[in-house]
Each structure stands twice: as structure tokens, then as C-alpha cells.
Chain A
Amino acid sequence: MQNKPIAEHIDRLWERALPEGGFSAKIGGNYRPDSTAWAILALSAAGIKNDHIEPSRARLADSQLKDGRVCALPELPDTYWPTPLAILAWQGSQYQREARSRAVEFLIHTTGLHWKRRDDSPVANDPSIQGWSWIANTHSWVEPTALSLIALQSAGYGTHKRANEATHMIMDRQLSHGGWNYGNTVVFDQELRPMPENTGMALNALAGRVSEEKVIRSLHYLESQIKQLRTPLSLGWSLLGLGAWRKRPDHAKKRILESLELQKIYGDYDTSLLSLLILSFFLNGGITLET
């Protein structure tokens, strides 16, 4: 099924698997929940049998805290941003339904910090719209909100009010000239610049939730950028974002393999980046549509 070049990279991914389940960020590294979730997503998309993936899903469940959150480090519970990744990684597992439900409950009952925008605020976006933050007690940003929205949709919560408000929040952070960045639009009257990775994530999350007309400038922005992109985070998310809107460019797989080849220059990508490229190799659409 797999062609040889991508199979080699999947083998490289397996080299980060830990004997007790789970994955590290690099060969010889320590267990990381986010690396584990990303590896599971990539291996699932590559058609690896569930039996081989379940030990990693179980390790991910072992690192879940009681209230459902999954943290970058369990001893730092504020770092709950890997929770939506865990929800996606547990999708399709008959053994992790309870863990997944608790993670979904955690997301639904968790927000970033929100407040009514002051008239004299130098920041143009509306901070009252609820989304999700990277870290507890901070603002909501595009990336964790987009990932959480993708996760909720995958878990069947796409019509939940939090999903709807997240859609609203991401739309509020869309730059007027098209695209998204980490989550600020205009500061002191200057519109900030878009970034491909954030734009790809936002477009992936919004697919099927808003009309194409409302994101057309962002699609155009990403289509204009894609030819220049070769680094894994930007390329991977841009392909997923465009794919979610059925606009995946020609030769996408070739581009992904070229990006993977850059490891010969830069050294091994960490597990999340390697997994993102493998995932985007196998998914013609966005994450929600096909996982």
C-alpha cells in the first residue's frame, strides 16, 4: 500500500516509540503526550493496525489527569493544550472511549480568559468570544481553538455551542486581507501579517462550518503561499487546510516528500513535525473529514 519513500519515514517514526507505549519527541528522548498523539494520528492515517497503536493510546490515557485534561507535563497541569490532540488520537479506539469522553468534557468546560472589549483597546479583535488557550488562565488563540474545534467535531460535538462560538472566535481573528496568524489582527491600527500554519489550521477547523465566500481571501492567501512552503509545520497544515476545502494542490505528495528530505540537511524533525507530514501525505482532505 505504502510507497517506499514514505514507508522509510514511517519507520523513522516508529524509532521514537517507547517500549512501555507512547512516543518521544526524538530518538532516545522521554515520553511526550503531544508527540504520542501526533504519532498515533500519523500511523492511523498510514493504515497501521489498531493493535499496534493501542499501547500508545493507553499510555496517553495513563497520562490523562482526573478532570480529563492531557498536559504537556503532568506536573504542570496548566499546560493542557495537548488535550484536543489526545481526543483525536483516541478516535476509533474501543478501549479509550471513557478517556476521550472525559477529555471532551474538559474541553467543553474550559475556556481561555475572556472579557468585554474596551473602546480604547489597541487590539482590534473581540476578546469576549470564547475559544481555547494554550495554557490555563491566558487568552484564547487561534491554534488551540482550531485544534479544539477539530477535536470536538471529530467526537460528534460539532453543533455544541462551544463549537459554534469557537467558529465565531476564529472568524473574528481572520485578517481582513486574508489569512490568520497566532490570533491578533490589528494592534495600534496596524494589521499584522498572516502565517501559513495558522491559516491552514483555521481553514481545516472551519471547513463545513462557514461558507467559502467568508474565507475566500484566506484560501487565496494560502494558495499564493503554498508554492514557497517547504518547512513541515507550514506545508503540512497548509495542505490540510486547503484539502479540507477540496483545494489540495497538485503534486502535494511530492512536496511532502521533498520536505521530509530536508531532514538530510537539518537533522531529524521532531515527532510532531514528522507525524504532521506523514498525516498530510495520506489525507487528501483535512483532519476532520477523514480520521
Chain B
Amino acid sequence: MHLQRILKSRHGWTRREFLLSTFTAGVFALSGGFWLRGRTGRTKKAETLISKVNDYNADIASVIIFGMKELGVTEKEINGKKILLKPNLVEPQANTIHINTHPLIVRGAAEAFLSMGADRVTVAEGPGHCHDTLRTLEASGMADVLLEDRIPFVDLNCDDVYTVKNKGRYSPLKTLTFPVALRQADWIVSMPKLKTHHWAGVTLSMKNMFGVMPGRFYGWPKNVLHRAGIDQCILDINATLQSHFAIADGIVGMEGDGPIMGSPKQAGVLVMGRNFVAVDATCTRIMGLNPKKVPYLKAASNRIGPIQEKSILQFGETIDSVRTKFQLIDKIPAHKKLCI
């Protein structure tokens, strides 16, 4: 029944409908999840969804539509909304697929939101290392996709800004300065890459939000946040900024000395959810790592969202079925004891 509703709600996406039909078994199982949720009143659990996607040529838009609907995102909720997609664009390295969020994931997300009735989709990022954002866009392949799909881009490093009280107060920063593009969006979607990180342990949907902080006010790199504490600032940004959804690119992630100098790691998944803490805990487990050992996830637990497996309602694939161990580096302190 639920599958029928999904198919009826879209128009002219025959190829995707075909692809969706391949998910039938999973969909019926997931519909059971919805039923259970509705009957038992366990709606306060954070929900995440794992989809197996083996390569970037898959019909990613359909996977994302499917995931969003399973997670209870309705067309009514998206209709007429201005959506801001925040990928993880770090450095302009051509011919690499493990550093930046893949442009075809961004294309798929844009298609998904537009097909669900979004008024406008914008892609926005403020790279932390490379001041030349346009070169990062070109080298990553993102520029071609955005131009072809006529999706506007905002360089968050250089946008006008607004300053608000730091609601998290995990760090000593009393205020946080954000780009106005965030305030102009109805929905903010974090689109990280599954990567290890040599300072933070892992970089996922929460750490990805470092990239919204404007370089004009935090520097290149965003050293104000480093000085105030990376873990603390991850928590502050996520406690202060209302974000709405995460779509993590784990088709090819990065292991070892992330977030830049590591190696490609095929994980073959997209992970989605509304609660970033829960999404990141799930991603961490998929990477074969223990979220309770990631300091900012541990600190976020039960304040910003849950990290305990029992507190996260898991849709789609099981963690065990997709878990693949991401290599860690012994000499990196943030990697110590991260393994499950």
C-alpha cells in the first residue's frame, strides 16, 4: 500500500518507478515499521534510513525520495519550501571521488526535493581550506552539474551575515555569525561524505555544518572554531542552527587520514534522517566505529539527539548488513579507541 502511494505521488518518472519497484520487499518491511510506530506511539525515537547504493550512476533521486517518505517527510512538508543543500566541498582535487560530496548525490537530492514540490533548491558551501571556492566547484565536478541543472550556488564564505546568541555554549563563543542564505532557506540539508577526521574522529552531518561558518568571520581555515574547540563548536553550531535533514554520501567515503589526505573507501550506502546526531551515530557504526567514543557525539547524546542504537529507529538496511571497517591511523589521537 505504501509503495502505491509513493508511485502515485510522482509524475513521469518511469525509470525511477521501475527502480523503486526493485525495493518492494524493503518497502513492505518498512511500512511495517511505520505501522509499528503509529500503533505503539514510539514516535519520539529518532529515525534513520540506510539505502544500499553501489555507485553514483544509480537513480539517486528515487533513492532519496524513497528514503524521505519512509522517514515521514511528506510532500505537504516540502511543498513551496526553499531548500538549501550543504554538501561537503573541501579541496579542488580533480579525479578524486573521496574528498568532496559527489555532485550526482547533490543532483539527486535537488531532483528529489523539486519533485516533492520544493519551490527552489540552492546549493551552498563555504570551503574551509581553499579560498577559491569556484575552483573547488569546477574541480569537484559540482559546477558542471549545477550549471546543467540550473541550480544556484551561494559561497557561504562571502555572503552577508547575521549574528545570534550561541545557544549551545559548549565553547566559549558567546555568539555565532551565520550567512544570510541560511536564514533565507526553509529547509537546511546537510550532505556530508562519510570520512574519518584526524582532529574530530569522524566528519559527518554535524561536522559538515562547520562549512556554513563564513570565512570572512572565521578565517581560512576556520581557526576561530579550532581555537574555541572543534568538538565544542560542532555542538554549538548544531545546537544553534535549526537544520532539517541529512543525506550522507557513503557510496565512496574516506578512511585513514581524513578529511583530505585519506584513501577512498567503498561503503555503498546513503544514510538519511532528520536528526543529525542519530544519522551520525548510524554512519559511525556503519564505518565500524563506536559513536560513544567520538567526543562530540557522546556530548550530543540525549541533548541534541540520541546515539544509542536502541534509541534510533532504523529503516532500510540493517547496520550489520552494510558495516565496513574504515581504516584508522594509530598515531592520530582522535582515532584511538574508536573501533567497536
Contacts and interface: CB of A to CB of B under 8 A. Distances in A.
A226 to B, nearest CB: 13
Contacts of A135: 217-219, 223-224
A164 interface: no
A187 interface: yes
Interface residues of B, number: 35
Interface string B63-105: 0000000000000000000000000000111000000000000
Contact of B198 (A78, A187, A270): A187
Contacts of B220: 134, 141, 143, 182
A114 B227 CA distance: 12
Interface residues of A, number: 41
Contact of A138 (B129, B132, B215, B224): B224
| Chain A, interface SS category | loop
A76 B219 contact: no
Considering residues A133, A134, A229, A266, which has the most beta carbons from chain B within 10 angstroms of its beta carbon? Answer: A134
A193 B260 CA distance: 9
B223 A73 contact: no
A76 B132 contact: no
Contacts of B143: 266
Contacts of A198: 131
Nearest to A262: B134
A232 B198 CA distance: 31
A138 B223 contact: yes
A192 interface: yes
B216 A72 contact: yes
Contact of A231 (B91, B134, B158, B160): B134
A132 to B, nearest CB: 11
A181 B158 contact: no
23 contacts: A76-B163, A78-B224, A79-B216, A122-B198, A134-B215, A134-B219, A135-B219, A137-B224, A138-B223, A139-B223, A182-B131, A182-B220, A188-B332, A190-B261, A193-B91, A193-B93, A193-B260, A196-B132, A197-B130, A198-B131, A230-B138, A233-B132, A234-B135
Closest 8 A/B residue pairs (Cβ): A134-B219, A138-B223, A233-B132, A231-B134, A231-B135, A190-B261, A234-B132, A72-B216
Given A229-B135, A233-B132, 15 more contacts: A76-B217, A78-B224, A134-B219, A135-B219, A138-B226, A141-B219, A141-B220, A141-B223, A188-B257, A190-B261, A192-B260, A195-B130, A196-B132, A197-B131, A265-B147
